[in-house]
Amino acid sequence: MIVRRFASSFSAKPGGFKLPPTIRQLLASPHTPAPDAPPITVSGWIKSIRRQKNVAFAVLTDGSSPQGLQAVFVGNGDGVKALTNGAAVRLTGKLVPSPGAGQDKELLVDLGKAGESGAKGEVRVLGSCDPEIYPIQKQALSTEYLRDHSHLRARTDAIAAMIRLRDALKKNISTFFDEQGFVYTHTPVLTGNDAEGAGEAFQIAEIPSAQHPASVLLPSSPSSSPSPSSSPAAPTATATAAPSPLGGTLAHEKEFFSRPAHLTVSHQLHLEALATALARVYTLSPCFRAERSQTGRHLAEFWMLEAEWVQAGGVGETCDFVEACVRKVVGGLVHGGSGELEVLWRGGEGSRRQAMSDAVKPDGKPWKRMTYTEAVEALEAEHARTKKFEYEPRWGRALQSEHERWLAETFVKGPVFVTDYPAVLKPFYMRRNCSASGAEDRDRETVACFDLLVPHVGELVGGSVREERPSVLESRMREAFGEAGVREYEWYLDLRRYGGAPHVGFGMGFERLVGWVGGIENVRECVPFPRWAGRMLL
């Protein structure tokens, strides 16, 4: 009985629901509008309006496309009075071939009596916008002003184009990794790792006692005090209740997870755990660093493309893969014709754009590669001649941003892989290169790693062969963090102890990629809602 009462509200088209076309979809359609086609309805915001005596012209945007839809209003002028910059409107009219320059099609909205063109047009204001106080005025707004209005800045052409560029790059990334047989995985943001104690990881605050019933947070079941390292003796039983160094002790009774929790600075270690099961994995996930540097290349919250996969080929093949990845992801966009890039590079340096575009040409030259040692030699030679660097380049020292940019912009004039950095500069998980001579100086030891440097960005990608030998890895960990650190990362050693396959991986800062491709100076304009030291809106 009750069932019958609401039978009438069932949808008639369960799987076929389709939203009306966006302006991008309308403009992309190759068909010339037919004269007898039925009227269409389009929603969006007024970007500009120009009124003449019996006709008015407006540009309508719905944010789907760098190009707006021109709407031409004829007849009764009352209907267009409320059309002001920023107003949300719904227009009904006919899509017709445009006689004007700059567009193939336009929307004819005939407000005349019964529609003199044969179809009655309609204008409906969905949300008005007072042009006197609208914060997003048509004249150029400063970058800083727009940062202060981050909730509204996606209404500007450039920020909207950047957001769509992110979407397009993400799609190309998915396609590339799919073809290469990778699985997309969701690795955690909350982690017990604290970036090896480097102090760059945000920490989760303790829970106030009032909100924190110990009975819930310190359950007495042994399974809540886990020892994640191998306990091979009893595979079908739960882990033993021995207090592990990782959590579940009284010292952490105010912690939600019974141990300190941090925001991850990289998904690499978790991806490695999955790569030892699924062979090829990747993710595009948020990472966090409590960085205090106020540069144009750092954010406190950023997105990183990270991949790990089983491969025995060493650094050379890893660079081959990364080069293929960046060329496909960026090249498809740059050479496929992207209206977003036209918007973003407007007013930018043509030569920079050309260099970026040339770098990813399908038949272009392979990217240059040099070892760290060769890079330092080149830097030293340049410095001896010109004294141009603030930091003197020397073997064993980190490459500074000025060095990286000189290598890519001046010396190589394009993307360059720098490989085999000194071991002392790099983290414990990078594979130590075997020295040809046994008596080589330990300080000259290098690891099988690479950075990809690109002009005007510097480091875009960093990666390495991962140390797969359990004994070498363990001794590097002991050097780096002592015995307690080794215990904390027992699980990471387990990955090598049990069928550890040689594997490699890399990380690419997504905002830096967006900046390189879009010619955007500062990563704060490469993400919708940027966060950095002292600043977090919304």
Please list every residue from 78 through 107 that binds a second copy, using CB under 8 A.
Answer: 86-88, 90
Interface of this chain with a second copy, residues 218 to 237, rule: CB under 8 A: 218-219, 223-224, 226-228, 230-232, 235-237
Binding residue (CB under 8 A) for a second copy from 33, 63, 458, 515: 63
Which structure tokens are listed for 500?
């550890």
If DSSP codes are grouped into helix, strand and coil, which group holds residue 233?
Answer: coil
- Judged by CB under 8 A, does residue 135 bind a second copy? yes
Options 68-76, 96-104, 154-162, 474-482: segment touching a second copy (CB under 8 A)? 154-162
Please name the residue that has the structure tokens 């941090």: 262
Binding residue (CB under 8 A) for a second copy from 40, 96, 154, 472: 154
Options 95-103, 303-311, 383-391, 395-403: segment touching a second copy (CB under 8 A)? 303-311
Distance, in Å, from the CA atom of 207 to the CA atom of 316, rounded to the nearest integer, reads 48
- The two beta strands, 458-465 and 183-184, are unpaired
If DSSP codes are grouped into helix, strand and coil, which group holds residue 237?
Answer: coil
- Judged by CB under 8 A, does residue 294 bind a second copy? yes
Binding residue (CB under 8 A) for a second copy from 40, 82, 96, 239: 239
45 or 506, CB closer to a second copy?
45
Binding residue (CB under 8 A) for a second copy from 4, 11, 31, 385: 11
Options 107-115, 214-222, 342-350, 453-461: segment touching a second copy (CB under 8 A)? 214-222
Interface of this chain with a second copy, residues 425 to 454, rule: CB under 8 A: none
Options 125-133, 385-393, 400-408, 437-445: segment touching a second copy (CB under 8 A)? 125-133
- Judged by CB under 8 A, does residue 338 bind a second copy? no
Q: Residue 60's CB: how many other CB atoms inside 10 A?
A: 22
Distance, in Å, from the CA atom of 538 to the CA atom of 531, rounded to the nearest integer, reads 10
Binding residue (CB under 8 A) for a second copy from 96, 278, 425, 480: 278
- Judged by CB under 8 A, does residue 320 bind a second copy? yes
74 or 416, CB closer to a second copy?
416
Q: Residue 353's CB: how many other CB atoms inside 10 A?
A: 17
Interface of this chain with a second copy, residues 491 to 510, rule: CB under 8 A: 491-492, 494-502
75 or 340, CB closer to a second copy?
340
- Judged by CB under 8 A, does residue 319 bind a second copy? yes
75 or 282, CB closer to a second copy?
282
Q: What phi and psi, each to the nearest 5 degrees, are found at residue 486? A: -60, -40
Contact 301, 294 (CB under 8 A): no
Return the closest-CA partner of residue 271 out of 304, 229, 308, 243.
Answer: 308
Which structure tokens are listed for 486?
């080794």
- Judged by CB under 8 A, does residue 337 bind a second copy? no
- Judged by CB under 8 A, does residue 247 bind a second copy? yes
Options 38-46, 96-104, 349-357, 392-400: segment touching a second copy (CB under 8 A)? 38-46
Interface of this chain with a second copy, residues 250 to 269, rule: CB under 8 A: 256-259, 261, 263, 269
Distance, in Å, from the CA atom of 72 to the CA atom of 90, rounded to the nearest integer, reads 14
- Judged by CB under 8 A, does residue 122 bind a second copy? no
- Judged by CB under 8 A, does residue 347 bind a second copy? no
- Judged by CB under 8 A, does residue 167 bind a second copy? yes
Interface of this chain with a second copy, residues 396 to 425, rule: CB under 8 A: 411
Binding residue (CB under 8 A) for a second copy from 40, 217, 425, 472: 217
Binding residue (CB under 8 A) for a second copy from 52, 139, 351, 437: 139
Binding residue (CB under 8 A) for a second copy from 77, 296, 314, 528: 528
Distance in Å, CB of 230 to a second copy, minimum:
5
Q: What phi and psi, each to the nearest 5 degrees, are found at residue 284? A: -125, 100
Please name the residue that has the structure tokens 């290098």: 446
Distance, in Å, from the CA atom of 42 to the CA atom of 32, rounded to the nearest integer, reads 18
Options 8-16, 30-38, 390-398, 431-439: segment touching a second copy (CB under 8 A)? 8-16
Q: Residue 205's CB: how many other CB atoms inside 10 A?
A: 10
- Which residues partner with 183 through β-bridges? 281
Q: What is the 3-state secondary structure (H, E, C) of 255-303?
A: CCCCCCCEECCCCHHHHHHHHHHHCEEEEEEEEECCCCCCCCCCCCEEE
- Judged by CB under 8 A, does residue 40 bind a second copy? no
Distance in Å, CB of 349 to a second copy, minimum:
24
Distance, in Å, from the CA atom of 414 to the CA atom of 351, rounded to the nearest integer, reads 12
Distance in Å, CB of 411 to a second copy, minimum:
8
Binding residue (CB under 8 A) for a second copy from 13, 31, 387, 442: 13
436 or 439, CB closer to a second copy?
436
Burial class (CB in 10 A: 0-12, 13-18, 19+), 101: exposed
- Judged by CB under 8 A, does residue 395 bind a second copy? no
Binding residue (CB under 8 A) for a second copy from 362, 437, 439, 484: 362
CA gyration radius, the chain: 29
* Residues in the chain, overall count: 538
Distance, in Å, from the CA atom of 350 to the CA atom of 462, rounded to the nearest integer, reads 28
185 or 433, CB closer to a second copy?
185
Which structure tokens are listed for 386?
């010109």
335 or 349, CB closer to a second copy?
335
Burial class (CB in 10 A: 0-12, 13-18, 19+), 68: buried
DSSP secondary-structure letter at 86?
A: T
CA 306 to the chain's CA centroid: 10
Strand order in the sheet with 416-419: 183-184, 280-288, 301-310, 503-509, 458-465, 449-454, 416-419, 368-371
288 or 516, CB closer to a second copy?
288
